[in-house]
Structure 1
C-alpha cells in the first residue's frame, strides 16, 4: 500500500489552511449503503450497483473500459486503490483519473508494474494484470465536506482481451503487510485505501466485476495408462491424456490432473500439470509405487477438473497388474566344529546345520512367511528328503538356523531351503547345496634327503591313508605349500597313485629350496567322493653346500715338502730326457756319414 498517501495528506492540509474557496460536493449519489468501492460498466455510470456487474460478452482482441467508483463514502482527501485481473485473459493498457478528486496532486498511476504517471509503489501487489492509482486533493481539504456522503468516479481502466475464457473476475488484490492499512475490514490486507485530509483511514466495502466471453466450453475425455505389470514396492510410470472431443474448434486442454488408485500405493506427485500434445490433447505423467499386492489389480484413475474453455472429465479405467516380489533364498551349510561354511568334503560324523536369508523381497526388511529346511540323502535334492524344521522369517529377513544334522555315513548329501511366500512375496527355493561326506583320512609327508642342501632338489612324498574301519584307497590331488623360499615342480601338486596296500595312496613332488633354515612343507588332500580331506606339515631343515678341506700330510710329508720333492723330480726327469735325445741325435749323424762314403 502506498503509505505516502497517509503521510502527504496532512502536509497538503498544512499548506492549504486558508483555501481561496470552499469545495462543494458536486458528485452524484445513488448507492444506498455506506462506503463502497466498486467496478462500473459503462465507465460513465454515476453510482455502484448492488451486485457485481457482468461485463460482456467480449471477444479476444477487443478492448473495453471500466470505472472504479467510490459510492457514499465519508468526506475524503485522497485514495490509493489497486485493481487486478488474470493477465492470461485481460491486459490493462491504460488508466486515467476521474473527477472524484477535484484538484488531484501527487498522482501515481502504475500499470502492469510499470509507471504510467509518477512512480509504482514497491513491495506491494504491483505486477502483471494490476493497476495502482493514487492521488490526494491539492487544496488540503476533504472532498464533499459540505454535502456528505461523497460519491464519484475515482479512475478509469482500459482492458484488452488477450485470451479465451468463459469468464474472469476483476478484483482487488490482497498483499499482506504491503497493503496495510486498508479501508476494508475483512480481510485486512485488501489493497484499497481511502483517507481523509488528515490521513485517517475511511471504512469501505468493495465490489468487483466479472468479464464474460462468448466462448464455447468444449467437452473432454480423460484416459490413463501405466507400464504394467509392476512389482510391489517398485515404481511404474502412469500417463494421463486429456482430449478435447469437440468436432470443431478443438484446442489443447490446460491445467492439472489428479491421480487415484483402488489399491494401496502412492503417487509422486499426486497431481501433474498438462503439456500440449498435438492440437487437441494434453498429457502429463507421474510415478506410482504399489505398497501391497492386494487382489493383484490396482485400478488407476485420473481426474481433470477442466479449464475456462474445457469441461472436466475423469476415468478409473486402467487396470494395473501388481506382481509380488520374488526374493532370492540364499543358504549356507555350516560345519559346527569350525563355525564356518562347508567348502570341502567333511568327515563321517560331522555335525552341520543350514542357515537362510531372503534377498530382494518387499519390504527390504520385514518379509514375513516361513522357511522349510530339508536334507536329501543324494546329490540333487530330487528325491523325498528329511524335513529338518519349518521356521518363521525374522524381521531382518534372516531365517533361524535349521537343527543340527549328524552325517553318520559317507556319501553325497544335499541341503535345500524353501520359502513359503507372503502377501507381497512369491514363494522361492534355494539352490541345492551339496555336501560330500567321506571316510576320515590322514596325510603324512617326508622329504629326502633331509636335511636338504640349498639350491639342490629334494623329493617330497605324501602318503594319504583311509583310517575308517573298512578302508578304500583314496584318490585325487594333493597340493603343497612352503612357509619359506623354494619352488615345487608340477604346479605345486601331484596326483595320488594307489599303493600295494588297500586304503593307502601316495605321490611325489620335487622341491628346491633357495634359502637355508627350517622349511615347513604343508600338504593338503582335497578328498574325493568317498574320502574326507586331510593335511600334514613336515619340518625340513636346509643347509648350505659343503666344500673339502686340504689334507694335512701327503705320503707322510707336509704338503710343502711333498710338492717340493715332486718339483725336483720333474726337473731331473726333464734333464735326463734332454740328454737322451741329444745322444741319439749324435749316433744318427755318424751312421749317415758311413753310408754315404764311396
Structure 2
C-alpha cells in the first residue's frame, strides 16, 4: 500500500463526483473510450504454444488495467495475479496512464514483477510469484484527475508460456491487502486508488479470464532481432534490426499497426533509440540503436528489450489489440585504460628514457589499441614497440615507450600518450611528466612487507633508488616516506627519512623504515617515498604502495536478467559488491556463484573477476546461468574479499518455467514378421510428432523383448534420423529369436528437448527351422574278409538340401550277424568331409562266422539335419585248408581170425607253414581175407568208420581161425580244419 503522503498532495481536494467507479481488466482498445470497462468480465484468448513455436519468438498478453466513472485520483497501488505456468509476469507499463492528465511528474514508487523488485524497495508478501504490482503517484500538477475519471491506469504484460486447452484460467486482483483500519478500495482485493485523503477511494472491480484458442485460429505476431547481442566500446554505439513475424493470418492491412518501445534498467549513459515508433509486419521493419556515453556508461552486460503492441488507433486488420511481443538485445560495453611504469621520467637534455605503457581491457574488451604521443613544449619524440597493443583473453598488454629529449630542452615537459581503438576511434589519454636536467635520472620504488597489517601491527617499507642513465652510478642521500589513508585507517612512519646504502646491483641504493598501523580503523595506507637527490642524481618520487589496514565491510547483491526464463534458456546474473565503510574504495577480486538446483554456469568455473562499478566503492561482474530443471533456482554470489575488503554474499531467485513438449507416437514394424528361430528380423521404429506443427524428433529408441532372443547392436538401441514424411524419424535394429513362440518387441522413444516420450510394440512369430534332408552311405574295406579278420567300415552323411551345410553328430553301427566292432560302442563322431555338405567317420568290424554280414550305419541327426541310415553287405569266408597226409600202421600186421591187432593213424600238415591238425577223420578199411580155397571170394567184411585222435588204434576181429587178414587202409577227410 502507498505510504500516506507519498503522493505529495498538499491538501484534500473535495470530490466533485462522489460516486463509486470500477477498476477493471480489459482490452486496451477500450482505454480511450468514455466507458473504459466492459459490462462483463473480459475474455482473452491467445495462440497455442505450437503456433508460437512455429513462428518463433515470444507472444505476450497485454491486459489494460482501466478505471471507469471514478472520483478524482492522484495515485494507485494495484496487484494482479495469474497462473504463472500459463501466463508469466513480464512488466507493468504506465505509458498512457490517466494520471498524466494531472500534469506534474509521474513517479513509479514500486514495481514488482513475479515477486522480484524492479523499482523501489523489496516486494510485499502479496506481490510474490505469479503477480504484477505497480504503485504510482504524481508529484506536482493539478492535484487530482477530473471526476468522473475514466481511462487507462497501466498495462500489465504477461508472456504466454502455456496452453489452456480446456476451460479458462482467471486473471484476478490479488487478495489479502489492507486492514480494517486502512481498507483497500475494494476489500480484501489489492486495489488501492488514492486521492490524498487517509482512506482509499471506493471502487468496484471487474476481473478477466484467459484461454488458448484452437490451433491456427488466433492471429498474433512475434518479434525477432538481428543480431541478438552486440558489443560496443564505451562511447560507441551498435544497432540491431527488428522484424515483425506474423502467425495465423495476422495483418496490418498495409498501414503501420504495431507500436514499438524500449525497456531497460536505468544505466548511466546507456540509450536505446528506435528508427520508427510504429511499423507494419515484415523483416527489418525498424532499427534500434544502442548508444553509450564515453566515461559515463559502465562496462558490463546489459539487456535492452524492444516491446511491441498493437496500435489502438490503427489496429490490425486481422488480429487482437491485446496481443503483443517483445525481443531482447544483449549489450556488452567494454573499455580500456592506459598506465605508465614509471609514472614520470627524468631525462637529461639530449638524452632518452624509457617507460612501459600498459593497456588494460575492461568489461571483456578485446581488440587492438594504437599508441601515439604528443609533447608540450614540442620538440621531443616518442617511439613505441610495438606501436599497437592487442588485448586478448589475458585482458592486458604492454608496449615499451622510448622518449628522446632534444639537447635544447630544459625544465619540465608534459607528454600526452594516446590510445585509439574502435570505429569510430575511441581515445584514452595518459599524461607523463618529464623532468629535463643534467643530473642522472632516477626512479624510486617502495615496497612493504607484509602488505596487509592488523591494527597496532607494523610492516617494513623499503625504498629503492635506481640510476636510470646510460652509465649508472650509486645514488646517495635520503628517502623521505609519507603515508596517506583511506577509510578510517591511520598510522605512523618511523625512521623517515632514511639514509641510502649501495645495493647489490650497480646504480641502485636502498633504505628501510617502519610503518605502524593505529589501534583502530580500517582502510588503506598509501606509502610514498621521495628521493632527495645528490650532486649527480636527480630527485624522484615513487608510486604509492598500498598497505591494507583492517578490512572494510562489504555487501554483495545478485541480479539475474531476465528474472524468469524457460528451462534450458540462459539468464545473465550480475554481482555487485559494495564497500559499505565510511570511506569506500573499489573492491577487487572475484565472485563465485552457486545454485541450489540443477543448471550450468558460463564460464564453467562459475566465477568472474570484478571490475570497478559506476558508483564509487562498487565493483561488478557477470556470468550466465542456464537452468536445466523447472522451478525456482536460488543463485548465490559469494565475494571472496581482497586485502582491504571483507567477504560477503547475496542471492537471487530465478524462475525456470517449462517448455511445452510436442506429443509423439512410436510404431514398430519387424520384417519379416514370422521367422524361424535363429533367423534375424529387421525391426524399425518410426517416431511421429503428432502436434499441429510437427518437427523432426531427435534422440534414440531403445528396444526390449518379452521372450528370449538377441538384438544387433547388443545395446538394443538406435539413433533416430529424419524420416521421409515431415515430423517423423526412424531407426532400426535386428532381432534374432532363439526360442519358439511369439516375441513382443517394444520400442521406447526417450524424447528430446522439444518432444515427449512414447512407445510402441510389434509381435514376431518364431517357429522351428525344418532340418536339412540327408543320406547315409556305408562302405567297408575290404568288402570280403575271412572270418576273424577286420574290415574298416566308413559312414558318409550328405546334406541333400538346396543349401547344404556340414552335418554333425554321430553314427551308430549294427550287424545282422555275429562279429565285433571297434570301438565296442559301435559308434563314431562325424568330421567334415572333403566335399561341401558331407561328413564322415569310421569303425572296424571283425566277423566271427562265415556268411554275409549286413552292416547298418544310423545317423542320429543334429539341430539342422535329419536322421538317415545306410547299409553294406560284408562277405565272411572260411580260410583255405592245409594239405595233409595220413598213414596207418597195424601191429601185428597179420593176425588170425578173431584175433586183435592195433592200428595207428598218423595225420601230417604238409603245408609250408604246418600247424597241428585237429578235428575228426573217417577211416575206411578194406579187409582182404586169406581164406581157404573153398570160401567164396565175396566174403570181404568192411569195418565201420572210426573216429581218431592224433594217434588212434583200432582192432580188427577175425571171425574164423581159418582166415588171415590183410588191412588195406584208405583215408577220407571229414572236417575242414586240423
TM-score in terms of structure 1 length: 0.37
* Relative contact order, higher structure (CA 8 A, sep 6+): 1
Which protein is richer in helix relative to its size?
Answer: 1
